[in-house]
Amino acid sequence: MARIIAVGRIKERYLQEGIAEYAKRISAFDNIGFVEIKDSGLEEEGERILKAAGDDYVVALAVGGKELSSEEFAAFVKKYSDKKISYVIGGPEGLSEKALERADYTLSLSRMTFTHEMARFFLVEQIYRGHMINAKRKYHK
């Protein structure tokens, strides 16, 4: 069971559609859930995120986190696929210190910064890609 806990709503329709598409594809491999945290300032967002994550294995997406190749990330997806895992994405201000400290792992998708909305899209694509790699199924580049 994987969950994506993220601050704020996805405003762009094309990103909503892209995320929905990959969520549907992921569901063939694992349960995937989404929790949207209200945009409410860094500290309160952090509190809400931690409450939502409970005792899940928490992966924070943040600049300065570890960069993995898709193959390395696939091994990661495999390792935690029978556990409760929460991927946590902050809002425009990022994640509070407290949320970052609570995280079991900190992941960076790229050295480049992109919007937190795009980060959700990239992440679902990589989770799907990870499942496809683990299942040794062909998936285009």
Helix/strand/coil for 4: strand
Contact between 116 and a copy of itself per CB under 8 A: yes
Query: Which candidate, 140, 64, 75, 57, places its Cα nearest to that of 109?
Result: 64
Q: How far apart are CA 104 and CA 136, in angstroms?
A: 28
Q: Give how far the C-alpha of residue 59 lies from the chain's centroid of Cα atoms, to the nearest Å.
A: 7
What minimum distance in Å lies between the beta carbon of 8 and a copy of itself? 10
Q: How far apart are CA 72 and CA 21, in angstroms?
A: 23
What minimum distance in Å lies between the beta carbon of 102 and a copy of itself? 21
**Interaction pattern, residues 61-100, with a copy of itself; x per rule: CB under 8 A:** ------xxxx--x------------------xxx------
Contact between 57 and a copy of itself per CB under 8 A: no
Contact between 39 and a copy of itself per CB under 8 A: no
What minimum distance in Å lies between the beta carbon of 32 and a copy of itself? 18
